[in-house]
Amino acid sequence: MTEKKRWVLGITGASGAVYGIRLLEVLSARGFGVDVILSEAGRQVLREEMKIALPEDLDAARETLSKNFNLDASTFCIYRNNDFEASAASGSYRCEGMVIAPCSMGTLAAVAHGLASNLIRRAADVMLKQRRTLILLARETPFSAIHLENMLSLSRLGAVILPPIPAFYQQPKTVADLVDFVTGRVLDVMGVDHTLYRRWGEGENQNP
Ligand SMILES: Cc1cc2nc3c(=O)[nH]c(=O)nc-3n(C[C@H](O)[C@H](O)[C@H](O)COP(=O)(O)O)c2cc1C
């Protein structure tokens, strides 16, 4: 039996929790395994923006996410952000890479400077050292010179800086269209096939 391909998904406390959730929905529907790590601020923003309060218990948190979104609970696991024994903390872990969606400026700074002080930061550090895919949906506006310098450092190290910036040539009608455009661009970088947005010069949008 072939093992599922796995991705690590960090959800931090920047605005845009919906991007992490939508990515999880698509990866789950596509049959990938996903290791989800939420920071404390990530949980807080999820509560503010999506009105979902995740229980502390990890199984209950998984159940809550599955019930509220279009998710198969068997496809993902949730890890505590202080769990340095999690597989994602090790370079020996077999996975495709990691996405931090959304990525706060605090996490961006920590990753840019090798400060592996929680599991999200440690897993990102591992992706860099192992030369695996690392995608950061860095979200803030406006950016300070510190933010920009940290992004440049990470880009030079091989990470992909993908701020959640939608395009409007698609004629989006709903917030979901905007979210799917950004999510689709993330999936493009991950090399995951999808039909979340209409590519320039191609036909109508479809769901995954
Ligand atoms: C509702 C809300 C929205 C926030 N939006 C952002 C944001 O867009 N970008 C950012 O860098 N920080 C934002 N923050 C602040 C971060 O959550 C804060 O800096 C936190 O320490 C980040 O920690 P983390 O990277 O471990 O999740 C927001 C906080 C709240 C409560």
What's 10's DSSP letter? E
The answer to the question of residue 197 being in a domain is no
Kindly report the average pLDDT of the chain as a whole number: 95
Which tokens is 103 given? 């990525």
The answer to the question of residue 136 being in a domain is yes
Which tokens is 168 given? 């409007």
What's 113's DSSP letter? T
For residue 101, how far is its CA from the centre of ligand 1 (angstroms)?
Answer: 12
Residue partners of 186: CB distance under 8 A and separation at least 6: 19, 23, 99, 101, 135, 137, 162
User: Which residue from 45, 47, 50 has its CB within 8 A of the most atoms of ligand 1, so it is best to mutate?
Assistant: 45
The answer to the question of residue 199 being in a domain is no
Assess whether the C-beta atom of 48 lies below 6 angstroms from ligand 1. Answer: yes
Q: What is the total count of domains within the chain?
A: 1
- As a whole number of angstroms, the distance between CA 56 and CA 88 comes to 20
Structure confidence at residue 204 (pLDDT): 59
Question: What percentage of the chain reaches a pLDDT higher than 90?
Answer: 91
The answer to the question of residue 202 being in a domain is no
The answer to the question of residue 208 being in a domain is no
- The single residue listed with the structure tokens 């979104």 is 69
For residue 14, how far is its CA from the centre of ligand 1 (angstroms)?
Answer: 4
- As a whole number of angstroms, the distance between CA 72 and CA 60 comes to 14
Assess whether the C-beta atom of 15 lies below 6 angstroms from ligand 1. Answer: yes
The answer to the question of residue 105 being in a domain is yes
Whose Cα sits closest to atom 28 in ligand 1? 14
Assess whether the C-beta atom of 136 lies below 6 angstroms from ligand 1. Answer: no
Q: Which atom of ligand 1 is nearest to the CA of 110?
A: 25
Whose Cα sits closest to atom 19 in ligand 1? 106
CATH of the domain at 65: 3.40.50.1950
Q: pLDDT per residue over 56-115, tens digit each?
A: 999 999 999 999 998 999 999 999 999 999 999 999 999 999 999 999 999 999 999 999
CB 163 within 8 A of CB 188: no
Which tokens is 113 given? 């400077």
How much is the average pLDDT of 122-144? 98
Domain range enclosing 156: 6-190
The answer to the question of residue 205 being in a domain is no
State the pLDDT confidence band at 208, using cuts at 50, 70 and 90: low
Structure confidence at residue 206 (pLDDT): 52
Whose Cα sits closest to atom 26 in ligand 1? 39
